[in-house]
Amino acid sequence: MTIGLPGPSGPPVARAPETVTLGAHLAGCLQRLRAAAGYPVTGIEDMRALHELLGAAGSLPLGGQPASASFVSDDHTPAELSVSFPGGGVPSVRVLVEPGCVAPTLAESARVGRRAVERLAERWGCSTGPLRLVEDLFLPPAPRGRFALWCALELRCGGTPGIKVYLDPLARGPEGAAAAVGEALGRLGHGRAWPALLESAASRPGDELMFFSVDLGDWAAPRVKVYVAHRGISAEGAGHIARLACGGGRPGVARFCREAAGTGMFDRRPLVSCFSFTGRDAARPTAHTVHVPVRDYVRDDREARDRAAALLLRRGVPAAPLDRALAAMTSRDLGGGVGLISYLSLVQADGAEPRLTVYLSPEAYRVRAPRTSG
Ligand code: TRP
């Protein structure tokens, strides 16, 4: 039995399979999640890509300490899965990995991550051009941020995954973050939208640029994305910020935040906005996503599941696929811990139905005990 680290409010919850490797645990989660979402049984290419991204971390046993202090997931599992539920459509599965998580320095982590992305792009015949255009801004010789490079795969039924690369705006320190993001957007053809975004969505004292992301490979419309964390914001404040994207009117963002979190004030873990850019030279972002860190605003995962199910139902999506996804991730009682469901997000894009995504922690090292108060 692995003894978990103490939860924020209550005793640690022990978890079992310490003879299993991190790679096997994550492959099991991903394979089951694919099946739950209706992907074909053979996902050989998806599994191979997962192992490639995990690299050396994949063969470490789960018992004992996490492979690194990765903040992809709360318990330092260097991976997170998510399922997106388009109204009326089939769910899609994604997996996010920190490829260089066991490297001794961020500089080495950057090299490991960069090589992993290059190998996938080569195998799938896609260009790393957008990454090459901006990497000097986020992968300096001695990075100072919280991570070097994360890579996510959006799995496709019967096709190669889409690749998303995440970089740290703080790589040159907090004082260089806005300049790095502005310069990167400019190089990728989205500079026109930056001044307004910076002023209205990233200039409050509680705002922090969190990720800069580029899509590589096979996408209908590859995106460039800027993520901003908003500490101490209200649901209405988040709704106001969302108006910057897609022609202005973004009804429903404030309501979504309130219903997902059960509160109108985000004084625990911050809300995160993401602005997406497609095409070139647009005056405003073409899509907006709000991420609600639901795990800090519920007692346990049962409550988080019920919130997600209610939000899905409102959009005409039944709860069964969500329940299948949760069962694919863990066999534990949902009421026995909190953090399996890390975020609930709502994306709204020009000309598309709003879409809900549920982010799932593999809980490889620890299950956080339910909140006992507040
Ligand atoms: N674990 C980190 C956090 O919760 C980073 C992270 C993982 C994240 N997945 C995310 C941030 C999805 C925003 C949205 O902040």
CA 246, distance to chain mean position in Å, is: 22
Report pLDDT for 17: 57
- Output the CA 318–ligand 1 centroid distance in Å: 26
72 lines ligand 1 (CB under 6 A): yes
- Output the CA 150–ligand 1 centroid distance in Å: 11
Report pLDDT for 244: 83
Helix, coil or strand: residue 197: helix
| Atom number, ligand 1, closest to the C-alpha of residue 73 | 1
| Atom number, ligand 1, closest to the C-alpha of residue 227 | 13
146 lines ligand 1 (CB under 6 A): no
**Residues 69-93: pLDDT tens digits?**
999 999 999 999 999 999 877 899 9
CA 100, distance to chain mean position in Å, is: 17
- Residue 202 CA: distances (Å) to CA of 206, 238, 266, 336: 9, 11, 16, 37
C-alpha dihedral sign at 120, 123, 124, 129: positive
Report pLDDT for 349: 86
List of the chain residues with pLDDT < 70:
1-18, 246-251, 374
- Is residue 162 within a helix (H) or strand (E), and if so which, with residue range? strand 159-167
Whole-prediction pTM value?
0.94
The bridge status of strand 341-349 relative to strand 287-292 is antiparallel
Report pLDDT for 14: 44
Looking up tokens 């690749």 gives 163
- How many CB atoms sit inside 10 A of residue 318's CB? 11
230 lines ligand 1 (CB under 6 A): no
State phi, psi for 347 to the nearest 5 degrees. -110, 135
Report pLDDT for 67: 85
225 lines ligand 1 (CB under 6 A): no
Number of H helices, E strands in the chain: 10, 12
Report pLDDT for 119: 97
Report pLDDT for 243: 87
